[in-house]
């Protein structure tokens, strides 16, 4: 018996050595030209080449040793653990959920409610500004946008690549109407939502007979058109200069956050003059808006319209055979999603005090869509986690000053964030192809509520 296991051990080692060598050879061949040889221009502007054998050796050794360790140690270890688990009869997925898992949403909500105060306690008044504004508000804006887009993409299965257009409509609605007519934030917030929804319908009507890739392309074009209109309609939007000096949101008209105002919030409450209170106030507004979005989404899913959206994602033809008007169903999904985009947009304008077409480029749409896909289409919790990871991760990379000590003073982590980001996304998608939360909660049940596995749900065809 012992003899056998020794033999097995030797076999594994032999295999590991062999595979390590092969990996080394492949790495050598692959990187020989790319890494081993470098071309550069000399003083006479001639293109000449030199070799980098040292670097090439590092690449080859990393590949060979990495493969050796994987095959020789990591894989046998994992296999052994799996075997041991199978023997004891413990299921891979335990049915029992931990306390944290069960009450995750409540804990998260309580944490969010305390977050600004916690930040202030830990980092001081001015120090907390960054955590409340850059992390808190920024992430929550994206959570709201992604939840809004989730209605269109995750529930109704309509691939919308121009979602940022509705965000722009909301932002400019607030910026222009408040600076031209002096309307207050609390009046313009719903109005921005309604205007964005209106634009959603206007866009939706001609576009929604298209499906799949075609729909994606046209929505992409719509997003760009809105941006180009904002750039070129200089009389109204001031073009690339943007609209600045946008009025701040007031505390429901009772207190103002303008420094010079008589009913200044800080003065009224005897607080020291600091912008942090305004940011905290904004944090709670966007938190409330997010909660509204979540509440409406959860309620709508249990309404016939929400079920029709999901049915539309699963099979449009079957929907029509059941007497569901697919055009109006799609339009409502588009309009509802756009409305939340509009809310987020007007909030964004109030927070920044400045809007320009720069903020509404295609990359924004892509990031929002990436959050929805990464989180798991249709799942609010998953999307919120994805927003924290993606937006928070980006912000965190800005903070990585210590990387300069490793990679030298020329290294700017911000420039690499997109690269790291892409890499992280690929890795997540490899291990969790359905996003962080791939399962779907049924909207009605007879006996038990069982989550529907992601392998049954469809992504929709536009």
Residue from 127, 206, 253, 304 that binds other proteins (CB under 8 A)?
Answer: 304
Which residues, in sequence order, are bridge partners of residue 39?
A: 49
Look at residues 53, 69, 81 and name the one whose alpha carbon lies nearest to residue 16: 69
Shortest Cβ 387–other proteins spacing (Å):
23
Residues 6+ apart with CB under 8 A from 129: 275, 276, 279
93 lies in the site for other proteins, by CB under 8 A: no
Look at residues 379, 389, 398 and name the one whose alpha carbon lies nearest to residue 151: 379
Shortest Cβ 324–other proteins spacing (Å):
5
Shortest Cβ 326–other proteins spacing (Å):
7
Nearer to other proteins by Cβ, of 332 and 346: the residue is 332
Residue from 23, 311, 338, 388 that binds other proteins (CB under 8 A)?
Answer: 311
Which 106-165 positions form the footprint of other proteins (CB under 8 A)? none
Quick one: which segment of 70-78, 238-246, 316-324, 352-360 binds other proteins (CB under 8 A)? 316-324
Nearer to other proteins by Cβ, of 313 and 417: the residue is 313
Helix (H) or strand (E) holding 244: strand 243-244
Shortest Cβ 250–other proteins spacing (Å):
28
320 lies in the site for other proteins, by CB under 8 A: yes
Residue from 317, 406, 415, 419 that binds other proteins (CB under 8 A)?
Answer: 317
Residue from 22, 318, 363, 423 that binds other proteins (CB under 8 A)?
Answer: 318
Look at residues 110, 120, 107, 111 and name the one whose alpha carbon lies nearest to residue 279: 120
Q: Tokens for 217?
A: 């392309």
Please state, in angstroms and rounded to a whole number, the distance separating the CA atoms of residues 214 and 210. 6
Please state, in angstroms and rounded to a whole number, the distance separating the CA atoms of residues 334 and 338. 6
Radius of gyration of the chain measured on its C-alpha atoms: 27
443 lies in the site for other proteins, by CB under 8 A: yes
299 lies in the site for other proteins, by CB under 8 A: yes
Nearer to other proteins by Cβ, of 107 and 298: the residue is 298
80 lies in the site for other proteins, by CB under 8 A: no
Q: What is the DSSP string of 13-82?
A: HHHHHHHHHHHHHHHHHHHIIIIIEEEEE-TTS-EEEEE-HHHHHHHHHHHHHHHHHIIIIIHHHHHHHH
What does the binding site for other proteins look like in residue numbers (CB under 8 A)? 296, 299-300, 303-305, 307-308, 310-311, 313-315, 317-326, 332, 440, 442-450, 452-453, 455-458
């Amino acid at each position: 018996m012992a003899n056998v296991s020794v033999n097995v051990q030797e076999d594994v080692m032999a295999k590991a050595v062999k595979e390590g060598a092969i990996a080394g050879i492949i790495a050598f061949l692959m990187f020989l030209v790319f890494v081993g040889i470098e071309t550069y221009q000399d003083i006479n502007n001639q293109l000449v080449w030199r070799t980098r054998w040292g670097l090439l050796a590092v690449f080859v050794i990393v590949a060979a040793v990495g493969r050796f360790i994987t095959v020789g140690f990591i894989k046998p270890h994992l296999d052994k653990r799996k075997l041991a688990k199978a023997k004891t009869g413990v299921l891979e997925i335990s049915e029992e959920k931990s306390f944290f898992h069960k009450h995750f949403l409540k804990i998260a909500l309580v944490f969010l409610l305390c977050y600004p105060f916690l930040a202030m306690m830990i980092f001081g008044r001015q120090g907390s500004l960054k955590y409340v504004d850059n992390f808190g508000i920024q992430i929550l804006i994206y959570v709201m946008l992604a939840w809004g887009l989730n209605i269109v993409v995750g529930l109704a299965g309509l691939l919308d690549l121009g979602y940022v257009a509705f965000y722009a409509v909301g932002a400019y609605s607030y910026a222009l109407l408040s600076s031209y007519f002096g309307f207050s934030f609390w009046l313009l917030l719903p109005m921005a939502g309604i205007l964005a929804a209106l634009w959603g319908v206007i866009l939706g009507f001609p576009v929604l007979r298209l499906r799949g890739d075609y729909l994606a392309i046209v929505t992409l074009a719509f997003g760009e058109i809105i941006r180009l209109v904002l750039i070129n309609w200089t009389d109204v939007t001031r073009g690339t200069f943007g609209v600045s000096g946008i009025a701040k949101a007031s505390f429901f008209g009772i207190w103002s956050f303008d420094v010079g105002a008589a009913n200044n919030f800080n003065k009224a409450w005897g607080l020291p003059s600091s912008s942090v209170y305004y940011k905290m106030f904004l944090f709670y507004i966007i938190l409330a808006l997010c909660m509204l979005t979540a509440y409406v989404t959860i309620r709508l899913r249990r309404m016939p319209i929400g079920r029709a959206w999901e049915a539309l994602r699963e099979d449009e033809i079957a929907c029509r055979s059941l007497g569901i008007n697919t055009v109006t169903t799609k339009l409502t999904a588009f309009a509802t999603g756009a409305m939340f985009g509009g809310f987020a947009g007007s909030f964004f304008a109030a927070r920044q005090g400045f809007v320009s077409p720069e903020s509404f480029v295609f990359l924004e749409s892509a990031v929002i869509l990436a959050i929805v896909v990464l989180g798991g289409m249709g799942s609010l919790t998953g999307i919120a986690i994805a927003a924290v990871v993606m937006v928070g991760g980006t912000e965190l990379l800005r903070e990585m000053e210590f990387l300069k000590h490793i990679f030298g003073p020329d290294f700017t982590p911000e420039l690499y964030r997109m690269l790291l980001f892409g890499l992280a996304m690929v890795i997540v998608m490899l291990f969790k192809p359905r996003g962080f939360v791939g399962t779907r909660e049924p909207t009605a049940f007879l006996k038990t509520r069982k989550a529907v596995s992601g392998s049954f749900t469809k992504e929709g065809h536009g």
